[in-house]
Structure 1
Amino acid sequence: MKEIKINFVDFWPDFDKTDNYFYNLLVQEYKVIIDDDPEFLFYSCYNSEYLKYKCTRIFYTAENIRPDFSACDFAFSFDYNKRKNHFRLPLYSLFIDNYKMLAHLQTIKTRAEAKRIWSAKSKFCCMVVSNGDSSERLNFFKNLSAIKRVDSGGGVLNNVGGKVADKLEFIKDYKFVISFENSRHDGYTTEKIVQPFFKDCIPVYWGNKLVHKDFNGKRFIDHHNFNTEEELINKLIEIDQNDELAINMLMEPTFSLDKVNHQEEQKQVLKILCKIINNNEKPIARQLWRYIHRHKFIYRNTKKRVLAKFKKTYNCIIPYMRADFKV
């Protein structure tokens, strides 16, 4: 097997360099070595260490931000676009892979099984949230709580005696799970809608208006399908009081019929990675774009210092930065 040197930087705190979506795909075709001087760098959006690397750079985002194609050779994100150096890979795909939950999500239950599962649900609705910035999510929690008890097991609006240790274990007893994204953008779908599916709950979803392209709209309650929040809450209460409606929802397939299945998606990603590895073109990091991007980045965060230090040396770049950032 061909040997390749890779590294991962700027990912979330508990990211494992030798047990993650990209590493586990690459080891199928290559002898993969984690090296501080890599040939291929995977980076995300939580820091700026990637700027130190002059190799081929591959960007991945789990957050609602756009890739900067002046900084990377290829980007994986949740966006729908037709760029040749981009592939749509939302966070929920990595979540499904990491938690080995695909087989369960693909199982279509018998009616008897669905009835048994729903009958075992002893609680109404819950939420587990650590980000308190989403007013849509917090308002919905408060408005629904005014009708019927809703438990909050996260750090926000906690009413169960403290943060729960295991979200998946916590939500399994609930019929409904508030599954609002932190923010809204077409294509931006995280693990929040998948977790309730895995525990046979019904997600109450807000976020990606195009979520039906990935998931079967008959398997969850979509905020966007209702004219008012009152209509949504009434629908949720109706399902709560009618077991047959709930059982029908549990028996629905999880994914949209138009969505590429998870295994095929993995094959597509691996094919892209192999193409990147076999590509002999000079990386972005060694081209003029690297200098433009790097100094745009520095300039955005330390404008006055950069102007004083680099104006003379990079006189050709400063006008570009001024126009871009309207200094």
Structure 2
Amino acid sequence: MRSRLIERLVAGVVLGALLFTAPEAAAQSTPKRSLLIISKTSHTLAIVDPASLKVLARVPVGEDPHEVIASSDGRTAYVSNTGFGRFHELNVIDLVAQKALPSIDTAPLIGPHGLAFVGGKVWFTAQGAKAVARYDPTTARVDWSMGTGQNRTHMLHVTADEKKIYTTNVDSGTVSILENVLLQPTLPPTGVLPPGAQPQMDWIQTLIPVAQSSEGFDVSPDGQELWTASPGGALSIINLAAKKVTATVAAKLPGAHRLMFTPDGKRVLIVSVRTGELVIYDARARKEIKRLNIGHGGAMLMDAEGARAFVSCPPDNDVAVIDLKTLEVTGRLDVGGRPDGLAWAVRQ
């Protein structure tokens, strides 16, 4: 009887130990380099291992997530909640602990959408406010904003030196170039400058008309050109030094939605959310190389290390993986319904 009691006690201790350690054993830590993908219907941010393409964790985000970006140290992610230009929330995710942190209220800058993380700060477009703004995580406040005066200021690119910002203004059919430049003091009506007047840095905007409803865009790796796609299938190519459209290409791709340069700058990939096609262009010759069906493309992300491209296909509920060498689909990812924005997080 005593030996049987001891056996039961030992079994109970072992079982308890297993139950206690099971959650820890099942947990999968975020790798140093991780792929971040939003699911609109699941309202989650998926953290994916780019080597195995396995979803390691899903973290809750807001009601209408669109884009995602990671901090330079790879420890924090930011997700924009747009709400057709009505919401005013950036979700914050601790990528190491894999948990949501308190969100950022961007009001009155409503409708945050496009995101960039440059100079230790979060830059974002505010569609409902027709503006671009910047949030400082250190001071926990929006420390700069500028209106574009354009309708549906949407996608965003900020140069590494923080001197130039590019945006598409979808409903106005324009691209904004915002430049931080040194301006000389303006003479008052008296013709005499007040004492102590000095040149100062200020932002100026140049508006460039492009094909109507142009939305997705990318800047070439050498910083010389900006390509943007319109749902009518036209590609507008802007010479950034001249600040003007130098070519318009008829891509014959109805519903063209997003485009992106390959890391070497030699090719441009364009996806259609209407036809489900991916079109590959030679960037120098501006000629189509290949066209293939991948699914109704929403957002896109390049993988320089793996020579791959990831294309989220919201209506198809998956993410297509494209081999940049063979230009073929090599896999699919399931991160939840209606996947959208993608980003890399590289922990320092």
Scaled by the length of structure 2, the TM-score of the pair is: 0.22
Q: Which has the higher strand share?
A: 2
| Structure with larger RCO (C-alpha < 8 A, sep 6+) | 1
